[in-house]
């Protein structure tokens, strides 16, 4: 199955079978990236037992497996790359989690209206692959009932230079895939407006790892 919009945003072209096979091999031999590991640990520290999970752009499924092992009841994985979907299904089978993960192929922004609310929503290194940060963060944080976890690039001079260099190499290779460095304030404002507060923050290399928790509704006094 292929999605026209995922082709238009060059996701299918960039995250192709060759790229994904390497990522799957790396995950199997070395485990999750250190940033992913930090996000999984921070979510588990909040208490995830019995919760449902929506993973957007989950790649091979590292967060899904980490959280299922920690007691999460089920996951929905929305992924724009068909090569990643196939690899994630194979990995879910290998780890005995096939029954607990529902895979959906496509651009999350287009599919959001048909996806149910989940307790935990995660986007690990996804915000920098997508042009429409407002839509992506607005629609994904609105679907989280309890925890919202993101890994995305720091907004500083070093990352801007690295990003410009990366985009130049894509242009030279005639790829229409692009790296997007969206301002931290844009992400932060949307998530806070949707009712969340920061519970965890850590920087690793060029990445920021943030876990937000839904702010409890103030208890109304009886008159």
Q: Are strands 144-153 and 207-214 parallel, antiparallel or unpaired?
A: antiparallel
Q: Does 89 bind ligand SAM (CB under 6 A)?
A: no
User: Using CB under 6 A, which of 15, 152, 200, 212 touches ligand SAM?
Assistant: 15
Q: Does 66 bind ligand SAM (CB under 6 A)?
A: no
Residues 120 and 72 sit within 8 Å (Cβ to Cβ): yes
The residue among 126 and 191 lying less far from ligand SAM, judged by its C-beta, is 126
Report how far residue 153's alpha carbon sits from residue 30's, in angstroms, rounded to the nearest whole number. 22
Three-state DSSP class for residue 189 = helix
Binding mask 106-145 for ligand SAM (x = CB under 6 A): -xxx--------------xxx--xx---------------
User: Using CB under 6 A, which of 3, 38, 54, 57 touches ligand SAM?
Assistant: 57
Q: Which residue from 108, 203, 104, 216 is spatially nearest to 151, judged by alpha carbons? A: 203
Q: Count residues near ligand SAM (CB under 6 A).
A: 20
**Burial of 171: CB neighbours in 10 Å, binned 0-12, 13-18, 19+:** exposed
The residue among 81 and 141 lying less far from ligand SAM, judged by its C-beta, is 81
Q: Does 196 bind ligand SAM (CB under 6 A)?
A: no
Would the CA dihedral through 194, 196, 197, 201 be positive or negative?
negative
Site for ligand SAM, rule CB under 6 A: 11, 15, 36, 56-59, 78-81, 84, 107-109, 124-126, 129-130
């Amino acid at each position: 199955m292929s999605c026209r919009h995922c082709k238009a945003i060059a996701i299918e072209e960039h995250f192709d079978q060759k790229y994904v096979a390497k990522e799957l091999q790396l995950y199997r031999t070395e485990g999750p990236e250190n940033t992913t590991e930090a996000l999984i640990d921070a979510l588990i520290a909040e208490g995830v037992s019995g919760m449902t999970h929506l993973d957007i752009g989950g790649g091979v499924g590292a967060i899904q497996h980490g959280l299922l092992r920690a007691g999460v009841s089920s996951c929905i994985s929305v992924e724009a790359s068909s090569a990643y979907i196939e690899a994630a299904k194979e990995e879910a089978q290998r780890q005995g989690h096939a029954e607990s993960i529902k895979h959906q192929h496509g651009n999350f922004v287009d599919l959001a209206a048909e996806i149910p609310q989940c307790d935990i929503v995660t986007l690990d290194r996804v915000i920098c692959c997508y042009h429409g940060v407002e839509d992506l963060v607005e629609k994904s944080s609105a679907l989280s009932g309890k925890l919202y976890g993101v890994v995305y690039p720091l907004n500083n001079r070093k990352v801007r230079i690295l990003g410009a260099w990366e985009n130049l190499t894509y242009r030279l290779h005639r790829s229409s895939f692009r790296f997007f460095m969206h301002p931290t304030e844009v992400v932060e404002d949307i998530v806070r407006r949707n009712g969340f507060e920061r519970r965890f923050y850590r920087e690793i290399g060029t990445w920021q790892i943030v876990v937000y928790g839904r702010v409890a509704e103030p208890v109304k006094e009886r008159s």
